Amino acid sequence: MPLISVVIPFFNQLRFLRQSVESVLRQTHTEFEVVVVDDGSDEDPSDLVRSLDDPRIRLIGQTNAGVATARNTGISASNGEYFVFLDADDWLAPTMLEDLKHILAATPDAGMAYSDIVRVGEEGEIADAHKIEHARDQLSGNILASLLLGGYFPPVCVMVRASALNMVGGFDQSLGGCCDWDMWLRIAAAGFNARFHSRELAYYRLHARSMSKDSAHMRSAAVLTLAKNMAAFPQQLASATHLLVETSAEMYSANSALAREKQDLTESLTQERDRIEHLEEVIATLSGQINLLTEGKAWLEQQWEAYKKDNENKQAVIDSLVTNSNINR
């Protein structure tokens, strides 16, 4: 079975680290190595690593240099055919390694495979219903155009082929929180396809200390990432950008058509509303007339009953007179 290297950069996330590492130890695919890279953390992970007592785990230390350098240190110290970059505050579903390994083994043109995720809060509770599957139309194949719109999946859900890493190089430490997005862009621009797996195989933790919460940093890093890749892969990114332009034009046309349909429907609904209001007025008028007729009918019935009773009384008087007349004779 192929060896999978799981690289875990660590910096002051000791309370999350055990869950992260144990999620790897519980994998159904057991041929893996775990390389924990202590990025000059104030917290010491060595006691925790020793307590797990698994020879597949190695702990490497370095002077604080950032997450990109820590991942690169882990890559250099690893021997896997495939790589997973697991941040210390995230964790994996039990079949993550096995499922994504099967996908990459079955698709030699793919440089990376990635899955859907569950986004959780600081204490591990489900944070929202976010799905990567709903983030883009193009999820598999050449996803360069989709990636140009932004990095829409985190490292925890990705498995990268070692040969793709060897071709494009390591993570760029100058790009901070966008170094993973830059990596996916370079893999796609180098001609590797991607494969998406719709199962939720990774848990991505959202919390206040996450680098992605620094909007100013992420904005400036995103601009640098795009500028770097446009300079490095002008033809590929020009083609991807043109595809986005075409897609945008198609969306504009579709939206314009929808807007016209909406206007037509609005006018039609207005006409129908006017008709309904007219019918309601007619119904109200008829109801009034029906009420008057009902009242008239009741009055006529009362008059008829009174008339019959009066006739009965008169008939009784006549009958009495006739009877008396006959007696007198």
The residue assigned the tokens 């144990």 is 22
Is-contact 77 9, C-beta < 8 A? no
Give buried/exposed letters for 110-140 (b at 16+ CB in 10 A, else e): bbbbbbbbbbbeeeeeeeeeeebeeebeebb
Strand partners, 272: none
The residue assigned the tokens 């950032």 is 66
The secondary structure element, H or E, covering residue 67 is helix 67-76
pLDDT digits (tens, 9 = 90+) for 88-116: 999 999 999 999 999 999 999 999 999 99
Residue type, 120: V
pLDDT surpasses 80 at 6: yes
Q: Residue 157 — φ and ψ, nearest 5°?
A: -100, 10
Is-contact 16 89, C-beta < 8 A? yes
Q: How confident is the model at residue 258 (pLDDT cuts 50, 70, 90)?
A: low
**Nearest CA-CA partner of 7 in 52, 54, 98, 73:** 73
Is-contact 240 146, C-beta < 8 A? no
Tokens encoding 39: 């990025």
pLDDT digits (tens, 9 = 90+) for 281-300: 878 887 887 787 677 777 76
H helix runs in 196-233, sequence order = 215-232
pLDDT surpasses 80 at 25: yes
| Better pLDDT: 116 or 233 | 116
pLDDT at 211: 63
Q: Among 1-10, 23-32, 241-250, 305-314, where is mean pLDDT lowest?
A: 241-250
Give buried/exposed letters for 21-46 (b at 16+ CB in 10 A, else e): bebbeebebeebbbbbbbbebeeebe
pLDDT digits (tens, 9 = 90+) for 185-218: 999 999 999 999 999 999 999 977 666 666 787 7
Query: Please, how many CA atoms are within 13 Å of residue 229, restricted to the half-sphere of its CB?
Result: 32
Residue 249: count of CB within 10 angstroms of its CB: 10
Integer Cα distance of 78 and 71 in angstroms: 10
Mean pLDDT, rounded, for 231-257? 72
pLDDT digits (tens, 9 = 90+) for 181-190: 999 999 999 9
**Nearest CA-CA partner of 244 in 132, 110, 138:** 138
pLDDT at 249: 45
**Nearest CA-CA partner of 182 in 193, 195, 171:** 171
pLDDT digits (tens, 9 = 90+) for 52-71: 999 999 999 999 999 999 99
